[in-house]
Amino acid sequence: MSDMQETLLLGSDSIKKTILHGGTGDIPRFITGAKVTFHFRTQLCDDERTVIDDSKVVGKPMEIVIGNMFKLDIWETLLSSMRIDEVAEFWCDITHTGVYPLVSKSMRRIAEGKDPVDWHIHTCGMANMFAYNSLGYDDLDELMREPKPLYFVLELIRVHQPSEYSRESWALSDEERLKVVPVLHGQGNNLYKAGRYQEAMQKYKEGIICIKNVQTKEKSWEVPWLKLEKMANTLTLNYCQCLMCVEEYYEVIEHTSDIINQHPGTAKAFYMRGKAHMEVWNEAEARQDFSRVLDLNPAMKKIVKKDLAVLNMRMEEKNQEDRNKYKGMF
């Protein structure tokens, strides 16, 4: 078969498909809720066909649920043209590849065992993306600045129909998602009380993802959106409380600052950020945050007074230590 016949245009000249290895049986049913497992390799269209990502190198195939707002929806279109065990190469122009760097960042963070929740992008949608200059990976930053056509080499492993697997929270409908949030919240609180902070964080994070998924369909800053935002912020602050317990203070500062930038009246976020600053010896920032707490919520006066007393004592001890250290030097 000549290359010309192998190259199928999937109803558009912005995608070209070449089958590298034929699959078996009929094309599976790709209905909403079906779980698709596949390997992927992403390559630049340069002479070297530079590889950007390769799930086989990571050693774990990718899974997506059809119709579930996966950020790179073009993959759903490509996969639904394939048979089981088929390997195909798709050339996609930049109308389809613009968001790839964001998706890649999430996938890489998961592969590295880090938190895939991209708070900035979830919180304020695509517009905010450009306010953050770096994705933390040079090759992705380059692609972000200058989107390029890409090759996706996909290998379809299996398709599970919705009735054939237990549906996890990310495969739920919006209504189901919102029902699951208080359950996750409660489980998180119980785990937190039991001192199982990592597991509690997992529950809070799942809750946040459920809320954010529903929130993307609402109009920003309108009442339904704000209600969801309030729920998400509550869970984020619980998440930060766990981070405090495992001494991840800089991450607390990052998440609370996100909330404060969006909602400058959140006393609890200022309070938690103040506590985190205190732990990493940012005295001026801690004092500033605590004084904002008192402005916003005078009822917290007693608790803040206690923290300020601890801060004063610590700074005094630190200054004494520094004095002793330097005394011996001169």
Q: What region does 118 belong to: left with phi over 0, alpha with psi -120 to 50, or beta?
A: beta
Q: Is 165 exposed, middle or buried (0-12, 13-18, 19+ CB in 10 A)?
A: middle
Residue 201 has a pLDDT of: 93
Look up the pTM and report it. Answer: 0.52
Alpha carbons 135 and 140: distance in angstroms, whole number = 7
Q: What is the pLDDT of residue 300?
A: 95
Measured distance between the N- and C-terminal CA atoms of the chain, rounded to whole angstroms: 84
Provide the pLDDT for residue 70.
Answer: 62
Q: What is the pLDDT along the chain (330 residues), one digit of tens a residue?
A: 334 334 555 556 789 999 999 999 999 988 887 889 999 999 999 999 999 999 999 888 988 888 765 667 789 889 999 999 999 999 999 888 888 888 888 888 877 776 555 443 343 343 344 444 577 889 998 998 888 999 999 999 999 887 776 666 555 678 878 888 888 899 999 999 999 999 999 889 888 888 988 888 888 899 999 999 999 999 999 999 999 999 999 999 999 999 999 999 999 999 999 999 999 999 999 999 999 999 999 999 999 999 999 999 999 998 888 888 887 676
Per-residue confidence (pLDDT) for residue 129, from 0 to 100: 40
Q: Pick from 71, 305, 279: which is nearest to 170 by CA?
A: 71
Number of other CB atoms surrounding residue 160 within 10 Å: 15
Residue 9: per-residue pLDDT: 55
What integer pLDDT is reported at residue 53 of this predicted model?
A: 95
Q: How far apart are CA 212 and CA 189, in angstroms?
A: 20
Domains in the chain with CATH codes: 3-98+147-164 (3.10.50.40), 168-246 (1.25.40.10), 252-310 (1.25.40.10)
What are the φ and ψ backbone dihedral angles of 219, each rounded to 5 degrees?
-80, 125
